[in-house]
């Protein structure tokens, strides 16, 4: 006899159907969630791009600590420097001459001697001395660096600083690890807003450039300078996350050719064509070849200038005058020439076959001339006589009267010249300045010619020398075409080999502890004066708070101006005006001046 709890066949079938429906609903629910997640990921990848670049770099057997000496030429040899030490430092490694994190010091030069001022103490430091960075005293703290308040950005300089008196000011050389150096290069050679793959390509090119420069620095006291003469370097800014990521994810990767660091030149914009080293400086580099660059040409931010050339040039205009002067020797007996029309224009005389660096522009023109004809005698006698004055052999003035019977000539009416004429004008030596097409101080521009209504447009492009990687081209390759760093580098430096150097980075030396007896006494602190309450705002003024540890207030909007006051973190100011490069004018009850808005927070 069957149990009363046993299901009938019909009931079991109904229960199985219910379980199947529940299972399908659960599968459908999780499938929907999975589809949603995949859709979100796809959208994120669409807008943010994917990090698909793992550079195919081989391990290198190079043994190197990767330290670099950077001459801070952009400081312009100041007479004095204000420094905040955001780390533990000593003078020349002497543990008895130490500075705690947060120390504020001033270094000034006078008659070839450096003086260090800290608190109320001033010390004669001789002709030079170094601030040496040490390991942090507290676990978890960063090694930090130095804030140089005369620098453009007041960023962190993470290394040792050698200062030398020059007789007119102070020269500074920063020694730091190349990866720390790159944080302050990539951010200002490109921009933190560039696609991450372009930033990675820039980091590798800049690292390679730096290592090659160091290898060839010879007996110099430095390896590179911090300006465009080598690579722009402005210190470390922790807010530039994309730059930091690009440097970190390409750590140690360099380009090599024939056993040496490659010549990884780069330029802001090549104007649509990569220049070879031979075109610009002479010499041949096999992995930097002249070729068209459609990516640079596609970028709307690639610099260009345009000049319209009319078929009917205005008489007396700069172009018409230049063409007339160049044409005159071709027309026999012409006293003066004018250009009546321009029939055609063409670019000519490229430096090498296929190059867009044209040294001439050829014009086919129609012209008229004037000649000298004998003047009517009745009109000629009414004209004033010309007296010629010159010095004789004895040095005395000699006055020569013209022959009153000599014939007088005058200009004829304009006569149309038969046919047309060909005139060439030099592009770099004449036209680029004449038509305001100059982009560079050197002759690096490339030129394009386009037909336009009523004439032609002559276009100059290329910002920089044009050799190697175009930063604007890399921006488009990564941002618009999804190219990764390796594809970008392969396009601009075909044939290079990429290696990873595992830096043998030296550890910062710890500094010995201070005597315990320091703990038995305390110097009486000098209280900071209480800031006076700020007055009410007027017009567009607004309140702001200082975010930097200390902030120099200057007499004008720029680091070249004198320091008139010092503000501390948390102090309040009134912002009264805006100036270029993010400088603002401020005031308190005690003083007025100028500071960088980067170190203020609007209340």
pTM of the model: 0.74
- Residue 36: its pLDDT value, please? 42
The full set of domain ranges for the chain reads: 67-264+493-499, 306-371+412-459, 542-602
Q: So what's the pLDDT on residue 25?
A: 54
Q: What does the block give as tokens for 452?
A: 């336009």
Question: CA-CA distances (angstroms) from residue 596 to 61, 186, 531, 567?
Answer: 45, 22, 20, 12
Instruction: Give the whole-angstrom CA distance, residue 36 versus residue 25.
Output: 16
Domain 542-602, what fold? Answer: SH3 type barrels. (2.30.30)
Looking at residue 3, its pLDDT comes to 38
How high is the pLDDT of residue 523?
66
Q: Which residues contact 527 (CB under 8 A, 6 or more apart)?
A: none
Per-residue pLDDT at 569:
85
pLDDT for 7 equals 44
pLDDT of residue 551: 87
pLDDT value, residue 549:
77
Low pLDDT (below 50) residues in the chain: 1-12, 26-27, 29-53
Instruction: Determine the Cα–Cα distance for residues 161 and 460; give it in Å rounded to an integer.
Output: 43
Distance CA 5, CA 14 (A): 16
pLDDT at 14: 53
Q: Could you count the other beta carbons within 10 Å of the beta carbon of residue 517?
A: 7
User: What pLDDT does 379 receive?
Assistant: 59
- Give the three-class secondary structure for 10: helix
Q: How far is CA 351 from CA 276, 285, 364, 434, in A?
A: 11, 17, 22, 21
CA-to-CA separations, 584 to 152, 343, 564, in angstroms, rounded: 14, 54, 15
């Amino acid at each position: 006899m069957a149990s009363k709890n046993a299901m009938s066949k019909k009931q079991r079938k109904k229960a199985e159907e219910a379980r199947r429906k529940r299972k399908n609903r659960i599968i459908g629910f999780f499938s929907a969630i999975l589809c949603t997640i995949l859709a979100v990921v796809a959208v994120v990848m669409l807008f943010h791009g994917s990090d698909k670049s793992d550079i195919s770099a081989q391990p290198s057997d190079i043994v190197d600590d990767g330290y670099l000496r950077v001459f801070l030429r952009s400081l312009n040899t100041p007479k004095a420097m204000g420094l905040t030490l955001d780390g533990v430092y000593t003078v020349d490694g002497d543990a008895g001459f130490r500075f705690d994190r947060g120390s504020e010091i001033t270094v000034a030069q006078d008659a070839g001697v450096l003086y260090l001022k800290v608190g109320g103490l001033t010390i004669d430091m001789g002709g030079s001395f170094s601030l040496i960075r040490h390991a942090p005293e507290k676990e978890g703290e960063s090694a930090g660096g130095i804030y140089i308040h005369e620098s453009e950005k007041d960023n962190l300089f993470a290394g040792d600083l050698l200062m030398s008196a020059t007789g007119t000011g102070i020269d500074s050389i920063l020694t730091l690890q190349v990866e720390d150096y790159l944080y302050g290069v990539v951010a200002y050679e490109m921009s933190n807003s560039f696609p991450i793959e372009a930033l990675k390509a820039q980091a590798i090119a800049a690292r390679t450039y730096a290592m090659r420069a160091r290898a060839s620095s010879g007996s110099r006291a430095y390896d590179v300078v911090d300006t465009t003469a080598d690579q722009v370097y402005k210190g470390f800014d922790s807010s530039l996350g994309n730059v930091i990521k690009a440097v970190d994810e390409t750590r140690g990767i360099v380009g090599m050719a024939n056993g040496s660091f490659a010549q990884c030149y780069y330029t802001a914009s090549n104007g649509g064509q990569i220049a070879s080293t031979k075109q610009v400086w002479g010499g041949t580099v096999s992995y930097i070849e002249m070729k068209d660059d459609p990516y640079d040409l596609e970028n709307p931010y690639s610099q260009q200038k345009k000049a319209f050339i009319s078929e009917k040039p205005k008489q007396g205009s700069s172009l018409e005058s230049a063409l007339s002067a160049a044409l005159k020797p071709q027309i026999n007996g012409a006293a003066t020439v004018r250009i009546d029309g321009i029939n055609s224009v063409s670019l000519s005389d490229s430096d090498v076959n296929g190059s867009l660096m044209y040294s001439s522009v050829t014009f086919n023109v129609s012209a008229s001339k004037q000649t000298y004809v004998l003047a009517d005698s009745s009109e000629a006698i009414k004209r004033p006589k010309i007296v010629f004055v010159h010095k004789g052999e004895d040095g005395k003035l000699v006055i020569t009267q013209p022959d009153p019977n000599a014939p007088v000539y005058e200009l004829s009416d304009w006569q149309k010249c038969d046919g047309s004429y060909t005139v060439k004008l030099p592009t770099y030596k004449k036209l680029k300045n004449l038509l305001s097409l100059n982009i560079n101080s050197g002759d690096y521009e490339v030129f394009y010619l386009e037909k336009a209504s009523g004439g032609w447009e002559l276009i100059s492009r290329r910002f920089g020398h044009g050799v190697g990687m175009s930063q604007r081209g890399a921006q488009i390759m990564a941002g618009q075409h999804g190219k990764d760093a390796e594809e970008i580098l392969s396009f601009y430096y075909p044939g290079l080999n990429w290696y990873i150097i595992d830096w043998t980075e030296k550890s910062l030396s710890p500094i010995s502890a201070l005597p315990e007896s320091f703990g038995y006494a305390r110097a009486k602190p000098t209280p900071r004066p209480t800031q006076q309450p700020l007055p009410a705002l007027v017009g567009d003024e607004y309140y702001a708070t200082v975010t930097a540890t200390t902030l120099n207030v200057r007499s004008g909007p720029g680091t070249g101006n004198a320091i008139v006051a010092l503000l501390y973190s948390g102090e309040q100011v009134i912002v009264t005006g805006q100036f270029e490069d993010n400088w603002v004018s401020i005031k308190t009850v005690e003083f007025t001046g100028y500071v960088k808005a980067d170190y203020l927070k609007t209340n």
